[in-house]
Amino acid sequence: MAQCGTARTSAQLRGDRNEVATWTISFSTMNYHPSYLSPASTLGVDQAMETETIRKMRNYFDAIRKLNSTQTGFALLRERKRLNHSINASAVDQMRKWVQCLGYSISDLDRLNIVHVGGTKGKGTACAYVNSILQKYRQSCGVPRKIGLYTSPHLITVRERIQINSEPISEEKFAKYFFETWDALETSGRNDGLDPVPKPPYFRFLTLMSFHVFLSEGVDTAIYEVGVGGEFDSTNIIEKPVATGITTLGIDHVAVLGDTIEEIAWHKAGIFKRGCPAYTVPQLPHAMEVLKKRAIEKGVNLNVARNFSVLDNINIKPAEHFQKKNASLAIILASIVLKKLGIATNCIPDTLPDQFIQGLENLVWRGRCETLTNRQQSWYLDGAHTRESLELACSWFGRVSRPSMLCFAPISHTKAGPTILLCPPEFVNKNIDPDTLQTLTLQKELATTWQGLDPCTEVASLPSIEDAIDYVRSISGRNCAEQEALIFVTGSFHLVGDLSEGVNSWIFSDLAKLLKVIRGRLLEAWHNCPELKFRTPYQSSQVPPYVITDLFF
């Protein structure tokens, strides 16, 4: 088993996180915005050029740098935990004020025809299923016209969280809408002679920005995944969702939501809205009791989404019971949205329209029961991070019996139970104690614990994703020469995201090496066989047949 002490190293080598670090100019004291520039400006030439330079440099990477500055930080998180600080209704009230700073009313969100989904396990997958089904109707019927999807966390780039028609918004649009949101908050208080409104923390800022993106882009249907809990989550300013759904509940975010299933169910049911359809998958009795009680309090008729028998004949990936529960909930939620948009569906337990079947079968949801394969290894990746979700992920992986390895690095290490080995990863953000990253003390202690539980298992505590991948390669080459090795990666989406990127880079690297070998042999053959000729439409001279591979190097 390989433990990863720093699960963000791959991301630091590529993508938006590392590129942010290359920017050294700070704009924290500047308040320029493209809208302030005017052809009739009386600025001097030098000042105008400086302003134009600043405007051009407010690009995607600067947006990411500023966004990362909104993260809470380990020291503050530790102090909040010491003071037993938890979220409450004031968080939602503040979110409403931020929306108003952007010039919107809460009722403006009703134009988005929002499907709101909460839960512990599978809420992101259920959202993705709803989105995939609606995309098939958009392609075949033209309705909905634009579909927004807001989920978390992201695996590789933060733009994954805000999608329109199944595509993350572009870097240009991300920067545009980020700075429009940022500047609106900066100027809101100043216009009244007050200090600027405090910036929302990371997730709340992105939620706020997503509303701005979807409303500005003319989205007519949006699917929103709850961040944490429900009652006090930043997404819960939505007053009139088209439908709400609750996926399987379990123990998670105990520092915020409580450490019992009843407390957690109370928070999750907070997204129910009077007069709006509400559905849940089957739950544990105590959790279901709380959901029903909360539904009555909120004037909601709560329904249970039973599994559709037709799913037994559909290629759901993975073909597990928990995934069919997510799909069944998504079928109902998508049907409600389509009905609101004027499209009748005939969804009964043993029959589904083609668009539903295609949407369910064609879904690709990265980091959830995902498999990556190359010549010697198959990597099984799942971002499971609770006891319940880890059990399901293990059930999925446990169907194979060949030589296998585990890369495990969960985020939470509180009240998770004594049977789960814990190894928190490094974030590119500031939410983890930096001392543990330097010494790997916790990782080494847990490696010792694991070794004691299973003395026959080889255990290694490694400082980075790259080291973990190299370690797996060496082990699989040594012990699994005759058959492919299976590597199970789980514990957090942060680990899964960065490791999947690292594995993909590694696979491409192997391909590049292979192409170099092929190129070399073709070159040798060309030199050894002068009669070998390659004619192009543009010239008649001899051209080495390997030249196309030069484009890769």
pLDDT score of 423 more than 80? no
Distance of CA 3 to the CA centre of its chain: 22
CB contact set of 535 (below 8 Å; sequence gap of 6+): 543
Query: What does DSSP assign to residue 426?
Result: P
Q: Is 297 annotated as a binding residue?
A: no
CB contact set of 125 (below 8 Å; sequence gap of 6+): 247, 323, 326, 365, 368
For the ranges 158-162, 470-474, 510-514, which has the lowest average pLDDT? Answer: 510-514
Q: Is 152 annotated as a binding residue?
A: yes
Question: Predicted confidence band at 38 (pLDDT cuts at 50, 70, 90)?
Answer: very low
pLDDT score of 270 more than 60? yes
Give the highest mean pLDDT range of 297-306, 346-355, 403-412. 297-306
pLDDT score of 536 more than 60? no
Q: Is 535 annotated as a binding residue?
A: no
| CA-closest candidate to residue 278, choices 308, 243, 309, 313 | 243
Residue type for 479, please?
N
Helices and strands in the chain: count of H runs, count of E runs: 19, 14
| CA-closest candidate to residue 72, choices 545, 431, 415 | 431
| pLDDT tens-digit series, residues 434-455 | 555 556 676 777 778 878 887 8
Of the two residues 468 and 36, the one the predictor is more confident about is 468
CA gap 457, 406 in Å, rounded: 11
pLDDT score of 251 more than 70? yes
Query: What domains are defined for the chain?
Result: 1-42+367-553 (no CATH), 59-361 (3.40.1190.10)
| Average pLDDT over every residue of 464-472 | 81
Report the share of the chain in percent with pLDDT over 90: 45
pLDDT score of 137 more than 50? yes
Q: Strand, helix or coil at 291?
A: helix
Dihedral sign computed on CA atoms, order 311, 308, 306, 141: positive
Q: Is 108 annotated as a binding residue?
A: no
CA gap 13, 8 in Å, rounded: 9
What is the CB neighbour count within 10 angstroms for residue 64? Answer: 24
CA gap 283, 119 in Å, rounded: 11
**How confident is the model at residue 300, as a pLDDT?**
97
pLDDT score of 65 more than 80? yes
pLDDT score of 3 more than 50? yes
Tokens 């003071």 sit on residue: 83
| Average pLDDT over every residue of 20-29 | 30
| Average pLDDT over every residue of 396-407 | 73
How far apart are the two ends of the chain, measured CA to CA in Å?
35
**How confident is the model at residue 400, as a pLDDT?**
67
**DSSP-assigned beta bridge partners for residue 481:** none
| Average pLDDT over every residue of 43-57 | 53
* Token output for 482: 């005759």
Question: Predicted confidence band at 262 (pLDDT cuts at 50, 70, 90)?
Answer: very high
Q: Strand, helix or coil at 84?
A: coil
pLDDT score of 13 more than 90? no
| Average pLDDT over every residue of 396-423 | 57
CB contact set of 404 (below 8 Å; sequence gap of 6+): 397, 485, 486, 487, 488
Of the two residues 133 and 537, the one the predictor is more confident about is 133
CB contact set of 115 (below 8 Å; sequence gap of 6+): 127, 130, 221, 222, 223, 224, 241, 242, 243, 244, 245, 333, 334, 336, 337
**How confident is the model at residue 368, as a pLDDT?**
85
**How confident is the model at residue 494, as a pLDDT?**
80
Per the prediction, the chain carries an average pLDDT of 78
Q: Is 154 annotated as a binding residue?
A: no
Report the share of the chain in percent with pLDDT over 70: 69
| pLDDT tens-digit series, residues 334-393 | 999 999 999 999 888 889 999 999 999 999 888 888 888 876 788 889 888 777 788 888
Question: Predicted confidence band at 217 (pLDDT cuts at 50, 70, 90)?
Answer: very high
Phi first, then psi, for residue 2 (nearest 5°) are -110, 125
